[in-house]
Amino acid sequence: MWALEAEGLSVRFGDFVALEGVSLKVPEGAFVAVIGPNGAGKSTLLKSFLGLVPFRGEVRLFGHPLRAVDPKRIGYVPQIKTFDRTFPALSLELVATGLRPTWPFRLGREARALALEALRRVGAEDLAERPLGRLSGGQLQRVYLARALVRRPKLLLLDEPATGVDRVGEVDLYRYLEAYQAETGATVLMITHDLDAAHHASHVLVLNRRVIGFGPPERALSEACLRQAFGHLGHAHGVYAGGKDA
């Protein structure tokens, strides 16, 4: 079964075309690195799979229309974390929001246990009682990853999860993801600016509003695909030194 199918997926914001005619099929258990230049629509693509933006075309998850999929089967780590860092909340409480849509002012025993287990999975159990305002960028990323994993989703969507993380932390992050995937058989789609990470994925999606290339890294990361997506290879490597996606 395909974990994710898109057919003719298009997204417009007024006169701006963010995605146009995107079609692909992602097999269950794949680890897909999504790459492309700034403004290529990578974040919009993930939001489309979550039903967070209006789109034309068809999206199916695990063989079902998007509207029929249980949200608990999907975990999501956004690129931009929109919350007030002065809000007096603990890391454990933020992770627990992945279990239910309302803020857990009182954590039950089961919710606490699940949140602690999710933090343990990402090497952040020691951050459980730490206020959010005292987390570094890398620590916050791990807490958000734990939040995405707390319901043990079968599809994990990650928008540049290594942002604000040093190289050692980035390696640890990929190790946590690989361990989770090996245990659960989950499918992972990860937007990244790291070509090394893309080379270690099972599949790479090269995107620039349209699908430029999709398949094993040795095929999708060909010189022809990178030139078509970025204009020229020098620009591609420059972008992947860092930057923001639209």
Nearest to 246 by CA among 79, 102, 126: 79
Residue of 188, 192, 191, 169 lying closest to 180 (CA atoms): 188
Residue 97 lies in a domain: no
Per-residue pLDDT, 229: 94
Residue 140 within a domain: no
* Residue-level pLDDT at 82: 62
167-184 vs 109-121: helix crossing angle, rounded to 10 = 120
Question: Containing domain of residue 187, as a range?
Answer: 2-83+153-239
- Give domain status of residue 99, yes or no: no
5 in helix, strand or coil?
Answer: strand
Pairing of strands 187-191, 31-35: parallel
In a domain, 106, yes or no: no
Q: In the chain, at which residue ranges do the beta strands (DSSP E only) sit?
A: 2-13, 16-27, 31-35, 56-61, 64-65, 74-77, 155-159, 187-191, 203-208, 210-215
Query: pTM for the whole thing?
Result: 0.88
Contact 50, 59 (CB under 8 A): no
| Cα separations in angstroms, 56 against 48, 74, 138, 183, 209 | 10, 21, 36, 35, 14
What is the per-residue pLDDT for 171?
86
Query: Residue 13 maps to which CATH number?
Result: 3.40.50.300
End-to-end CA distance of the chain: 31
- Please count the other Cβ atoms lying within 10 Å of the Cβ belonging to residue 17: 14
Is 59 among the domain residues?
Answer: yes
Tens-binned pLDDT, residue by residue, of the chain (246 aa): 899 999 999 999 999 999 999 999 999 999 999 999 999 999 999 999 999 999 999 999 999 999 999 988 999 998 866 666 677 789 999 999 999 877 777 788 999 999 999 999 999 999 999 998 898 888 888 999 999 999 999 999 999 988 777 888 888 888 999 999 999 999 999 999 888 889 889 999 999 999 999 999 999 999 999 999 998 654 444 444 344 444
- Does residue 138 lie in a domain region? no
56-74 burial, b for 16+ CB within 10 Å, e for fewer? ebebbbbeeebeebeeebb
What is the structure's pLDDT at 87? 76
Alpha carbon distance 184, 190 (integer Å) = 17
Q: Total domain count for the chain?
A: 1
What would you measure as the largest C-alpha separation in the chain, in angstroms? 55
Predicted pLDDT at 83: 65
C-alpha 230, offset from chain centre: 22
